[in-house]
Structure 1
């Protein structure tokens, strides 16, 4: 059997296992181990051992549990509630103001946690009931929460970019900095769209009534502003020394985790229940990602040994005559298709052994491509019929929001995200300017 057929067989078996409901790391690791033994006999057993050793020596991986713990502490201690109350008071008089504030909330939650599911959970439990109570259009706000929560995998500290960094062997710090401007740009595009829609059709996002605004004193506004800005202060305390070069990324993540813990203690919200839930959740998520990384590294080692990447590169460039940009566009389209039935982690580890070396051979920057992958994953999260966020929203939304409402709500936001993806593809400097600026002087 040719190496190309072996590679195709590996992908086919892995996809069948995933479609039958097997865990991602189990399916990928199983295929990698069996293929290694089949190709190289007992010597193939060294591949998973080498992957584990490589993972354990990867010092920046320590940032993963630190940032996840920080996010869960701030979430479980209800500091996110203060954030939404702040946006509610300050943005209420603006057309669609609470929806705009929800996008702002999602950006800050993303900067605290790095997981889209955290933003979805907070948006569905805190923002959604409040927006429905104030007669916001249910399609509008459902789309707002889904789109806003997807920013969690792009705005640093993105856990997905940590996984990409490990597989692509790129610096985590550069990838996080590369995600800052595209992430803020996408949030700004969401806000512009919401404001224009609600300005044209005020019934979609009514403003706070004059009576409600009169009840809120300036003292209350300032108090809420101080409480709501606490997460920003934590993020600044964590990232400022890193950007200045005073600390490494791992040390900064420890500062963030400790600062969040101390803030929860000072506000008297660090109960034993909150601490236990935060630690358990951090351990569960961190172990899940570590298992997936080990499986992906083993799969990638087998794939590299087959020489499948070079064979596919020759197929696209020599036999089909496609230009590098055409190949890049096809790769992004494949992510959109896979996103209808897979989550971001599964998509990355399935195609990483093929796409990342191919991107390198085509001459593209792997840090920039990490941002493109993440944006495409965001879009795939919300693409019917089986987008990941669609079903998360259905599970968390009240009964009056139907699946039809959820599907219809994401169409304009997907359009905005495709526009943002196109801009970042045409102008790579949007993603690369900040990491080049920060790392140039080091």
Structure 2
């Protein structure tokens, strides 16, 4: 059997297992381990062992449980609720102001958690009922929450970029800094769309009546001060890192400690809440570590077969495509896979193929990590099986139907595609900040 046929069989077997509903790490790891034993005999067992040792020796991986823990502390202790209440008061006088405040809230949650699920949960439970009660259009608000929550995998501390850094062997600090400006740019484009849309049709996002906004300045400042707590945690953490006082892992420890102290100071951290936080943090952390382990094992076997060189030759020599044409095809394949897979599954499936190919084509792997993440955001929201669509359907009230949810994401997907095109045409949007900080 030729190596090309073995590689094709491995890939097809993995896809079949995933389509049957197997867990991602089990499907990928099983195919990788069994292929190693088939190809190399008893010595093939070293592939999985070597991947495990590589995972345990990767020091930046310590940021993963710390940031996940920090995010759950802030969400389970309802500190994020204070932030939204402040936005409610300060932005409510604008047409579409609460939707704008929701986007800002999502950026803040993304900067505290690094997962889109947390932003979706907080947005659907806090912002969605309030926006609907205030007369906001249901398609507008469901689109806002889905689009805003997707920022969690791009704005640092992005857990997805940690996974990409591990698999692509790229510095996580550079990847996080590369995601800052694209994430803020995308949030700004969302806000611009909301402003223009509500200016053209104010009924989509009516402003709060003056009597509801009537509040003494001292009370407004008190709300603002309460809402600033999570932002202060984030900026103290990233500020120490950017100024060089702490390493990446140390900054994550600072964030976790600051979040815990803030929850204690507000009297919202008891034994029951801490139990929920630790249980969720441990579950998510273990899930990601198993996925990374499976991906390293599969990638080692796949790369050893020469599959990457075969694909490179197929695109560049047999088809005669240029580097940019190959890159666009790769992004389109992510969008296609995103209709039935989540971001981590897409990454571990194609990283062994795409990352070496991107490097061979002469593109920057840090920049490509941002492109991958933005494409995952788009895939999260595209029918028929976009991940965020089903999360929203599960959390939305009955009057928000699945048809409304599907229709709500169309303009926001258009904004995301625009952001993706801008980052592709102007790589410095992503690369300027890491170059300035690290002197790349």
| Same topology, TM > 0.5 | yes
2: distance between equivalents of 1:163 and 1:238?
A: 21
2: distance between equivalents of 1:247 and 1:286?
A: 23
Is 2:102 the partner of 1:96?
no
Q: Secondary structure at the match of 1:48?
A: helix
Measured after TM superposition, the shift of residue 197 of structure 1 is 0.3
1: distance between equivalents of 2:243 and 2:306?
A: 42
Number of the residue aligned with 2:414 = 415
- Per-residue Cα deviation, 1:127-160 (whole angstroms, up to 9, x for no partner): 0000000000000000000000000000000000
Measured after TM superposition, the shift of residue 270 of structure 1 is 0.9
1: distance between equivalents of 2:213 and 2:243?
A: 42
Is 2:318 the partner of 1:319?
yes
Measured after TM superposition, the shift of residue 115 of structure 1 is 0.2
Is 2:115 the partner of 1:115?
yes
Measured after TM superposition, the shift of residue 220 of structure 1 is 1.3
Measured after TM superposition, the shift of residue 245 of structure 1 is 1.1
Number of the residue aligned with 1:363 = 362
Q: Secondary structure at the match of 1:135?
A: coil
1: distance between equivalents of 2:257 and 2:210?
A: 42
Measured after TM superposition, the shift of residue 440 of structure 1 is 1.8
Q: Secondary structure at the match of 1:229?
A: helix
Measured after TM superposition, the shift of residue 427 of structure 1 is 0.4
Structure 1 stretch displaced more, 96-105 or 269-278: 269-278
- Per-residue Cα deviation, 1:178-217 (whole angstroms, up to 9, x for no partner): 0000000000000000010001100000000011122x22
Number of the residue aligned with 1:10 = 10
> How many pairs align?
440
Number of the residue aligned with 2:337 = 338
Number of the residue aligned with 1:80 = 80
Number of the residue aligned with 2:293 = 294
Measured after TM superposition, the shift of residue 367 of structure 1 is 0.2
Where do 4+ consecutive residues of structure 1 move more than 3 Å? none
- Per-residue Cα deviation, 1:90-144 (whole angstroms, up to 9, x for no partner): 0001110000000000000000000000000000000000000000000000000
Measured after TM superposition, the shift of residue 236 of structure 1 is 1.2
Gaps of 5+ in 1: none
2: distance between equivalents of 1:55 and 1:259?
A: 27
- Per-residue Cα deviation, 1:75-99 (whole angstroms, up to 9, x for no partner): 0000010011011000001110000
Is 2:127 the partner of 1:127?
yes
Q: Secondary structure at the match of 2:269?
A: coil
1: distance between equivalents of 2:106 and 2:71?
A: 12
Number of the residue aligned with 1:158 = 158
2: distance between equivalents of 1:279 and 1:115?
A: 16
TM-score by length of structure 1 reads: 0.99
1: distance between equivalents of 2:111 and 2:43?
A: 44
Measured after TM superposition, the shift of residue 319 of structure 1 is 0.7
TM-score by length of structure 2 reads: 0.99
Number of the residue aligned with 1:425 = 424
